Structure 1
Amino acid sequence: MTPARIIAAICVILPFVAVLYVPIYDKDESELGGFPFFFWWQLLWVAVTAGLMGLAYYVVRREELARKAASGAGNVAVPDAVQDTAPDAVADADTQNAEEGDAE
């Protein structure tokens, strides 16, 4: 368990706790723009959850990329038989056709 994974887990769990723990928003007296606390609390967490999910994705993705770079997994050699030589063949054919056109 890495620190990045712990941060991501907190970012994922926090919205559930904030929205599902009813005593936090079980109030009638607070209002914002004429709406009861319950409604704007839920709406607030829609935006906050989107931000936290984005942060969790960014942290985990950055950790994975760093781990791949450190292990050298990004530097995989491709065998000669697998490499695509078609672009070179097409360029050679175009050059040859152009030379034949000049000769006529």
Structure 2
Amino acid sequence: MKNSRATLKFSLNIRKAIASASNESEILKDINYTVDWSNFPNSLKMQCLIYQKQPENIELTEENKAKSIKIIQLSFLKQGIKFRDIRKNIEFDLTTDNP
């Protein structure tokens, strides 16, 4: 499929938002995404890799999730991308590797 100008612009804005969210958060290590442009932004699915400092305390707290979601949502809003409920678009994974 040939990318239109709008698709390229959205793709660039997604990358900017993800980079901004990763830079603003100390626990977000990486964010991977997939998107179906025919149903954007609802089809944007993000997989966030969360950094945990303590290997024995491996659990994703609701507080960490809420903070990460808020940072990601604000980053996307700055790029002009709104979601109905961004929580449906985000999955979390844990890691103890250094960021």
Q: Which has the higher contact order (CA 8 A, sep 6+)?
A: 2
The verdict on a shared fold, with TM-score over 0.5 as the criterion, is no
More strand per residue: 1 or 2? 2
Larger radius of gyration: 1
What is the TM-score when the length of structure 1 is the normalising length?
0.28
What is the TM-score when the length of structure 2 is the normalising length?
0.29
